[in-house]
Amino acid sequence: MLSAPVIKVEHLSKCYASRGQPDIIAVDDVSFSVSAGSCVALLGGNGAGKTTTIAMLLGLLLPSSGSIEMLGVDMLKHRFRVLPRINFSSPYIELPHRLTVRENLTVYGDLYSLAGLRERIAELARDLDFERLLDRPAGRLSAGQKTRIALAKALLNAPDILLLDEPTASLDPDSADQLRGYLERFRDSTGAAILMASHNMAEVERLCDDVLMMRSGAIVDRGAPAGLIARYGRQDLEQVFLDIARDRGRDGGAADPERSAAS
* Cα gap 205→97, rounded to integer Å: 35
Give the mean pLDDT of 185-211.
96
Give the pLDDT mean for 223-247. Answer: 95
Q: What does pLDDT average to over the chain?
A: 92
- In this predicted structure, what is the pLDDT of residue 261? 38
Comparing 95 with 253, the larger pLDDT belongs to 95
Q: Please determine, for residue 160, whether its predicted confidence score (pLDDT) is greater than 80.
A: yes
Domains contained in the chain, CATH given: 5-223 (3.40.50.300), 224-255 (no CATH)
Quick check: 7 pLDDT over 50?
Answer: yes
Mean pLDDT in residue range 169-193 = 95
